[in-house]
Amino acid sequence: MRSLRIIGTLFLKDLRVEWRQRETLASICVFGLLVVFLFDFAFQPAGEESLRLLPGVIWIAFAFAGILGFNRSFAAERENACLEGLRLAPIDPGLIYLAKMLANFLFLAIAEVVIVFAASLWYNFSFLAAFDWFFCVVFFGTLGYVAVGVIFAAVAANTRMREVMLPILQFPVIIPLFIGAIEATTSILKGEPPAQFASWVKLLIAFSIIFIVLSFLLFEYVLEE
């Protein structure tokens, strides 16, 4: 119960900081839109083709937008030694990780709504046909992505060139998640029955669970001085 309250407090702190500046959310939404827009320009897809490209485009947009958010999330903590303050608090470091994860999950989810909306508009496509499954895949895909992203952002915050370091750490590790998410999204958009992509959804769930637990346990060492 106490843990939940701590997570809640830390989560609300991140939301309050974001609400006062509104920098992160605005930048990741705009960046996500730009990625979709550029892809539309680069490939100029039409009809069948757009159905083939769309899953890849939206997941790449999610990935780029996410990276931007994770970097911001820890860059802000470095100013005025906020991270030291958090470290000194008498709480389990794993809880700080979970709170950071929730906040980043929320920000990325908002950006994803914007991205999906723009993509369906520009590619003339409706995601509503199998929305429950689409939602499920995006939910677990994002969860796994944020789970890895937050701990790597905390590591990268300790390096020179941290904005560059984060994607170099992050992208090789999330490849299985990416394969699963894109394959499942493709199946869903094609209107295939759930049995076709059930194993991918299971992979996304397993990936999320494994990396949330692992990062929860390891975060202590990331914060250690």
Partner 1 sequence: MRKNASLTAHGILTLVWIVVALYMIFIYVPTDVNQGNVYRIMYIHVPSAWTAMVAYFLIFLGGVWYIWKRSQFADDLAYASGEVGFIFCSCVLITGPLWAKPIWGIWWTWDPRLTLTFILWLLFVAYLLLRTLFVNPSRAALLSAVVGIIGFVDVPIDYMAIRWWRTQHPQPVVMGGPNSGLAPSMLATLLVSWGAFLCLFAFLVRQRIALAESRREVSQLRREWATDEGQEF
Footprint on this chain of partner 1 (rule: CB under 8 A): 148, 151-152, 155, 158-161, 165, 168-169, 171-173, 175-176, 179-180, 183, 199-200, 203, 206-207, 210-211, 214-215, 218, 221-222, 224-225
**Terminal C-alpha separation, the chain:** 28
- 3-class DSSP state of 193: coil
Distances in whole angstroms, Cα of residue 177 to Cα of each of 14, 25, 121, 138, 174: 26, 24, 26, 11, 5
d(CA 22, CA 78): 18
What's 224's DSSP letter? Answer: -
Residue 38 or residue 168: which is nearer to partner 1 going by CB?
168
Residue with tokens 């990062």: 215
Shortest gap between Cβ of 145 and partner 1 (angstroms)?
A: 13
Kindly tell me which of 20 and 160 has the beta carbon lying closer to partner 1.
Answer: 160
Whichever of 140 and 211 has its CB closer to partner 1, that residue is: 211
Closer residue to partner 1, CB minimum distance, 62 or 207: 207
Q: How far is the CB of 43 from partner 1 (least distance, A)?
A: 20
Based on CB atoms, which residue is closest to partner 1, 129 or 210?
Answer: 210
Report, in Å, the least distance between residue 78 CB and partner 1: 11
Nearer to partner 1, 31 or 207 (CB): 207
Rounded Cα distance between 13 and 9, Å, is 6
CB 14 within 8 A of CB 97: no
CB of 160 to partner 1, least distance (A): 5
In whole angstroms, how close is the CB of 114 to partner 1 at the nearest point? Answer: 28
Give the whole-angstrom CA distance, residue 84 versus residue 190. Answer: 49
Least Cβ distance, residue 218 to partner 1 (angstroms): 5
Measured CA to CA in angstroms, residue 9 lies from 15, 26, 36, 60 at distances of: 10, 23, 35, 32
